[in-house]
Amino acid sequence: MQSKYKQKLKREESVRIKKEAEEAELQKMKAIQREKSNKLEEKKRLQENLRREAFREHQQYKTAEFLSKLNTESPDRS
């Protein structure tokens, strides 16, 4: 009787340890995926900032070009 009880406890302990190991592995995988997701979001954010900066510089260049063109075409207006 006591032997059966010990075997049962041993099996339950084995199952518990296995579940804990699986849960730890799952948490590890989730952490890795979160890190990947965070890196991807950061990369997207940096690309968007670069795109906006390039657009802003292009707009400034075009504005300066336009104003320069206006100044050279009609110097008597100023």
Q: Per residue of the chain (78 residues), give pLDDT as tens.
A: 789 999 999 999 999 999 999 999 999 999 999 999 999 999 999 999 999 999 999 999 999 999 999 888 876 654
Q: Which two tokens stand for residue 1?
A: 């009787």
CB within 8 A of 78, min separation 6: which ones?
A: 71
DSSP 8-state assignment for residue 77: G
Q: How far apart are CA 21 and CA 46, in angstroms?
A: 38
CA dihedral 71, 72, 75, 78 (to 10 degrees): 10
Q: Find out whether 71 and 78 touch, Cβ atoms under 8 Å.
A: yes
